[in-house]
Structure 1
């Protein structure tokens, strides 16, 4: 799901410089049923490519997000790396010298079309190895019906958010503000809050990539969450550390949640259940947050089989505008290229308009520090520990200090 690539070097039927090459791609499944499995998308795309490139076959294996990263790791460890993988992280493979740089694969036109902050996030050691594929941001979803009953309007500050949550609680809403800090995806909810904090929020790292998890702003943010939301019973009957994102989304779709941070897939999930909802930017302490959290998944090309030219030709095709838009629209994701983003922004179709709130935030969004090989260990620690920061006997300062120590240790190991 990413750039406009015309591959100037392609020129007609099958002139890829070699014949009878089979490219193997392992990809993640964005579908929620067999009917819309990503396998169907890739099979159709591969068939269209092969029709114009008779010397190249593309074999695609699609696995669930629960399995795909592990599957690729097993293949690489066994000495049978695929030619391409579309998965959640690239930095470990880049650091191990197993990946082509993006510039070794893609046409200049394709490279130039990526949204700059996504391309930058694909860098390891100042060179781009991760090619952005699918992107999303987060906005604040609210239940219009519950808000009307409580006589409230969407919040623009933290104080307003807490006041709205209290009004919803007083009306008997089960989850006035759902705060999923359970192990499924706590790193996402955490980062969203860190970015909204005082002085613009500090996220997980500073501007030069040093971990700043225990910064004063971050401690202040989690202290507010603990004292003003969780401590006042405004986050529902399940402790945030035990509430997973999927359960929170399901509760929103069932009409039991007043507000929560959500990504584009919640639109369809809620609409299917008939929930009337609105979407607004996540508030900060004194107004709209300066940055939203962005998430991108990654395409990468492995060196092992030596098919750089064929991989590049195929990826230039994958990132043509029409293909990027088709994938984005099928799975409710944001385009990672400027050309496709502009086309979606200019579109009046209902499906595209639903994504405009997320698209508006993408240019200024901040991503996980995915270019750091330590991020996987840090993310796992956040998932495991962050819920304790808002527990009744928890200490935000102590938990964030512990996570900072974990991050500093992991960073020194992986960079040393």
Structure 2
């Protein structure tokens, strides 16, 4: 039976078995710390959460929601500091949960959500929220990646959208001949190079973990071959633009694409909207692989988690069931061009023409691969990638040696788990 049918079949059971009722402890205030998906005061996520909280409170007297929205630059660090000081919030909507789960600080999703709500998460995202096969991280927002290209620059260069790596090289050569600043923008700087690296690993048939998800496989044959190709076929011939990829951050590359200075890059839904508003005619295709479409694209999820420190399990569950109602999931997706994390909201988006621009990203989500966020070692591995991966393609760089160094860091981090 498909998940959508299972969700419907479990609706009655959810009413009977869900942990949505409020306890007898009197009025409760739940503290929620959340990340800001907006880029200015006019579209801050604080407004979304304030509106949702006031709506919830009207229908759930006795529960007050106190929301503090922080920038992505600060929110993970601030929550970690709160936890360290014994002042954990009831809920946090941030980037990672595994460390807190490993320290037994979080409620299990089973202990919070109604059956209907928990069953409605996309299976891929539910699994990514698990530590030792128990779900602690509840997906809140998701996105996938596609290859973006500037249709006008491609037309002027006589280039065709690439279907494989050979096509990427050929298109980049034509774009360079037309004077395009960045034929293929390759941001391997410290900002988010773990994402760019993962996309290329996947397109080359590799990935961060082995197929059984037992251990890291950073310097696999496939991954080494991928970065050797990048260096010899794109970077060394000057097809990735001025400077070296290790000095190019993601936001710089995205800004350049919105200015019309980039022929191709790997992008996400927010860039699509920004570039189109700037007048760029954006083409979007699945990531090309060595001999055709990549076996998978990269998926990204941000997480909701509930801390046990203050109790309030039933009230937290009641609020989260409300948070994950379709109307609220879709309202957030609408506001920030983010993919919904539930089956029913995703189905609604697929059936609504106003979301047509997001359909290609949504189609990639069920088969995408996510960071190994359930591993407490991932934070250290990610930092090593950010610090070192750009060296693999710099002049005189040795991709095999650089990936071996990162692999050793991963092995050390895993041993410390």
Give the TM-score normalised by the residue count of structure 2: 0.95
Residue ranges of structure 1 left out of the alignment (5+ in a row): none
Match for residue 319 of structure 2?
Answer: 314
Q: Could you say what secondary structure the match of 1:173 adopts?
A: coil
Match for residue 360 of structure 1?
Answer: 363
Match for residue 3 of structure 2?
Answer: none
Match for residue 120 of structure 1?
Answer: 127
Tell me, in whole angstroms, the C-alpha distance in 2 between the residues paired with 1:284 and 1:14.
50
Match for residue 386 of structure 1?
Answer: 389
> CA-to-partner distance for each residue in 1:323-377, whole Å, 9 max, x for gaps?
101101101100000000111011111xx11111100100000000000000000
Match for residue 267 of structure 2?
Answer: 262
Moved more, 122-131 or 205-214: 205-214
Could you say if the C-alpha distance between residues 34 and 225 of structure 1 is closer, same or farther in structure 2, counting changes exceeding 3 Å? same
Tell me, in whole angstroms, the C-alpha distance in 1 between the residues paired with 2:410 and 2:22.
48
Shift of 1:8: 2.9
Tell me, in whole angstroms, the C-alpha distance in 1 between the residues paired with 2:213 and 2:22.
43
Contact conserved, 1:222 with 1:389, CA < 8 A, in 2?
Answer: yes
1:142 aligns with 2:149: yes
Tell me, in whole angstroms, the C-alpha distance in 2 between the residues paired with 1:43 and 1:194.
40
Residue ranges of structure 2 left out of the alignment (5+ in a row): 1-6
Report how many aligned residue pairs link the two structures: 407
Match of 1:372 among 361, 375, 378: 375
Match for residue 82 of structure 2?
Answer: 75
Shift of 1:177: 0.1
1:290 aligns with 2:307: no
Match for residue 203 of structure 1?
Answer: 208
Tell me, in whole angstroms, the C-alpha distance in 1 between the residues paired with 2:353 and 2:274.
21
Contact conserved, 2:150 with 2:281, CA < 8 A, in 1?
Answer: yes
CA RMSD of aligned residues (A): 1.7
Contact conserved, 2:23 with 2:315, CA < 8 A, in 1?
Answer: yes
Following TM superposition, the consecutive aligned residue runs of length 4 or more in structure 1 with deviations greater than 2 angstroms are 3-11, 13-19, 200-209
Match for residue 280 of structure 1?
Answer: 285
Contact conserved, 2:190 with 2:249, CA < 8 A, in 1?
Answer: yes
Could you say if the C-alpha distance between residues 265 and 409 of structure 1 is closer, same or farther in structure 2, counting changes exceeding 3 Å? same
Contact conserved, 2:94 with 2:302, CA < 8 A, in 1?
Answer: yes
Contact conserved, 2:28 with 2:64, CA < 8 A, in 1?
Answer: yes
Tell me, in whole angstroms, the C-alpha distance in 1 between the residues paired with 2:187 and 2:214.
26
1:42 aligns with 2:45: no
Shift of 1:19: 2.2
> CA-to-partner distance for each residue in 1:358-403, whole Å, 9 max, x for gaps?
0010000000000000000000010000000011111110000000
